[in-house]
Amino acid sequence: MVKENLIQVQNNIKAACEKVGRNQEEVTLIAVSKTKPIPLLEEAYNAGSRNFGENKVQEIMDKYPVLPTDIKWHMIGHLQRNKVKYIIDKVTLIHSVDSLRLAEEISNQASKKQVEVDILVEINIAQEESKFGISRIEAFQLIEEIAKLPNIHIKGLMTIAPFVENPEDNRKYFRQIKELSVDIMQKNIDNVSMSVLSMGMTGDYMVAVEEGATMVRVGTGIFGERNYN
Ligand SMILES: *Cc1c(COP(=O)(O)O)cnc(C)c1O
């Protein structure tokens, strides 16, 4: 089941790339495995997945030691400062940085452990009350401040678009993220790259790819519905 789903998602990404003349290699598929048990992650791994996304520190801690070491773990959920120390040397990318205080803690812990940590800045593109992330206006100042910190490197932007029935409704938001990344890039800030755009989930990843996503985060479309009970 997981294998078939993965092939389907990969084919959809390929089709979306072809539609707009992009190379499929530009897009990394992150298998969002939150709440899912180890055997399902192993199925995805055996089918070729190497990038996994989790939104809870505890779940990364539980899964990290029992799965193959060539997996790249992505922290995609809201991160509390007091938990940074547990995952700092386990994750390949933290997608959800939305404050200077969090970035400072990441920088501190990274310096302590002598690692370099890549992060994305999370933008709440539709300004939804229920979501974390900062506004487009706030992004410039926050990025300039984070850029000065040691052992932490901004690689791009992440957004969680609204939940919609019709993915076309989110096209404008993906376009705005792409435009924002170009505006930030033009500022030529030291230690800031905009090579990663993490946007698009099960409901809208094809539209996101058409609008320039370089990472899509797909959970349900690979592992099936989540059960939170
Ligand atoms: C759960 C989650 C996803 C995956 O959502 P699906 O709709 O199941 O694909 C992607 N990004 C974030 C930040 C998530 O928390």
Q: Is 134 exposed, middle or buried (0-12, 13-18, 19+ CB in 10 A)?
A: middle
Tell me what the mean pLDDT of segment 195-201 comes to: 98
In the structure encoding, which two tokens stand for residue 91, read together?
A: 């994750």
Q: How far apart are CA 71 and CA 90, in angstroms?
A: 10
Q: In which element (H, E) is residue 196 found?
A: strand 192-198
45-87, pLDDT tens digit by residue?
999 999 999 999 999 999 999 999 999 999 999 999 999 999 9
Rounded to two decimals, the pTM is 0.97
Tell me the pLDDT tens digit for each residue of 90-103. 999 999 999 999 99
And the tokens for 117? 């940590």
CA–centroid distance, residue 164 to ligand 1 (Å): 13
Q: Which two tokens stand for residue 1?
A: 């089941």
The CA distance from 129 to 46, in Å, is: 39
Specify the pLDDT at position 227: 86
Ligand 1: residues whose CB is within 6 Å? 32, 34, 55, 76-77, 160, 201-203, 217-221
* Alpha-carbon gap, residue 67 to 38, rounded angstroms: 8
Per-residue confidence band for 192, with pLDDT thresholds at 50, 70 and 90: very high
* SS3 of residue 212 by DSSP: coil
Gap from CA of 45 to ligand 1 centroid (Å)? 18
Q: Which of 50, 49, 69 is nearest to 89 (CA)?
A: 69
What does the pLDDT read at residue 178? 98
Q: What is the largest CA-CA distance in the chain?
A: 47
* pLDDT classification of 228: cutoffs 50, 70, 90: confident
Tell me how many degrees the CA angle 7-34-48 measures, rounded to the nearest 5.
30
User: The tokens of 17 are what?
Assistant: 């790339």
Task: Select from 199, 201, 204, 228 the residue to mutate for testing ligand 1; criterion: most ligand atoms less than 8 Å from CB.
Answer: 201
> Atom of ligand 1 at shortest distance to CA of 202?
9
Strands 117-123 and 192-198: unpaired
Mean pLDDT of the chain: 97
Dump strand ranges (E) for 1-71: 28-32, 51-54
Q: What is the pLDDT of residues 133-183, one digit of tens each?
A: 999 999 999 999 999 999 999 999 999 999 999 999 999 999 999 999 999
Contact (Cβ atoms closer than 8 angstroms) between residue 77 and residue 35: no
